[in-house]
Amino acid sequence: MAGLLSRWHAALAEQSPVAVATVIQGPEGSLGGKILVSPEDHTGTAGNAELDKAVVETARGLLEGGRTETVHLGPHGQRRMEDVAVFIQSFAPPPRMYVFGAIDFASAVARVGKFMGYRVIVCDARAVFATRERFPSADEIVVAWPDEFLKTAEVDGRSVITVLTHDPKFDVPVLKQALDTPAGYIGAMGSRRTHDNRTARLKEEGVTDEQLARISSPIGLDIGARTPEETAIAIVAEIVALRTGHSGGRLAERSGPIHAAAADTRADAKTGRERA
């Protein structure tokens, strides 16, 4: 199986998606069998061709969602059997964070997003604000109308979209567009008044209450944030809390396990770690 390690290493370096499946329980001699699976091909073996086929298939499914799991199969890849346990770890490229509105708050959100392992894309229609000087940590800076840009941008279930423009001219069209994506998080900044005004305009545009419920508005957890940095923390804290299904209160005032049993299993390529 020589070469699996170097391919694994290369895939991580190129940030191309890859899953590694390892037999961790099973018949004598099968332990440690390993297959490296990419969307296009695979290398290595779990023991036999039938088992390999089932493992590769399962691994591709998990890889698509960036998930890491242990799956159980029969010795020849049979579905409803449990003789062999295969640990499948996904190394997916970093999830994307879209930041619309190149204001000071956006700069802090971009920095914190980067720190959280996101690929950060900042977009604003105003070339004078969307500059490299203002966003040194962003992976991409795009000068375009937000809704136009979002139409062609890559968005999946791990993507987060933050709309910080709080100008109806920009945020109503981009939020409408965001609702047409499978983004895992959509947040919109603004005061209560801005929020009410924006909600009314979105409804006028035909957005339903059910769709509106997808938008975190006003954006962020209620931690009394005022500065751009504090606000950025409130926003990413909300992103994490929504993903894990936690409410965001103080652990000191709560009992029970800190890490939920139904831990979120999305990994990111940067650390290869689960975000449990």
Partner 1 sequence: MNPVIDKVAQWSQEGKMAALATVVKVERSGPLGPGTSMAVSEDGQVVGSVSGGCVEPAVYEEAMTAIEGGEPRLLSYGISDDEAFGVGLTCGGIIHIFVERVDW
Q: How many residues bind partner 1 (CB under 8 A)?
A: 38
* Structure token digits, residue 29: 């001699």
User: Judged by CB under 8 A, which stretch of 6-14, 74-82, 147-155, 210-218 contacts partner 1?
Assistant: 6-14
Judged by CB under 8 A, the chain residues 141 through 170 that form the site for partner 1 are: none
* Structure token digits, residue 138: 């962003």
- Per DSSP, the three-state class of 218 is coil
Kindly tell me the number of DSSP H helices and DSSP E strands found in the chain.
8, 11
Whole-angstrom distance, CA of residue 94 vs CA of residue 15 = 8
Residue ranges of alpha helices (H) inside the chain are 4-14, 49-64, 104-115, 146-152, 168-179, 192-204, 209-212, 228-244
Least spacing, CB of residue 96 vs partner 1, in Å: 16
89 belongs to the binding site for partner 1 (CB under 8 A): yes
User: Cα–Cα distances in Å, from 83 out to 24, 44, 46, 128?
Assistant: 11, 20, 13, 62
Least spacing, CB of residue 185 vs partner 1, in Å: 20
User: Judged by CB under 8 A, which stretch of 51-59, 62-70, 207-215, 241-249 contacts partner 1?
Assistant: 62-70
User: Judged by CB under 8 A, which stretch of 83-91, 126-134, 135-143, 240-248 contacts partner 1?
Assistant: 83-91
12 belongs to the binding site for partner 1 (CB under 8 A): yes
Query: What's the Rg (C-alpha) of the chain?
Result: 22
34 belongs to the binding site for partner 1 (CB under 8 A): yes
Sketch the per residue contact string, 100 through 119, with partner 1: x for CB under 8 A, - otherwise: --------------------
Least spacing, CB of residue 9 vs partner 1, in Å: 4
Whole-angstrom distance, CA of residue 69 vs CA of residue 87 = 6
Of 128 and 261, nearer to partner 1 (C-beta) is 261
275 belongs to the binding site for partner 1 (CB under 8 A): yes
User: Judged by CB under 8 A, which stretch of 29-37, 57-65, 136-144, 244-252 contacts partner 1?
Assistant: 29-37
Whole-angstrom distance, CA of residue 138 vs CA of residue 159 = 15
Which one, of 9, 200, 228, lies nearest residue 101 by Cα?
Answer: 228
Least spacing, CB of residue 95 vs partner 1, in Å: 14
Residue ranges of alpha helices (H) inside 15-167 are 49-64, 104-115, 146-152
27 belongs to the binding site for partner 1 (CB under 8 A): no
Binding site for partner 1 (CB under 8 A): 1-2, 4-6, 8-9, 12-13, 15, 22, 24-25, 31-32, 34, 44, 68-70, 87, 89, 91, 257-259, 261, 263, 265, 267, 269-276
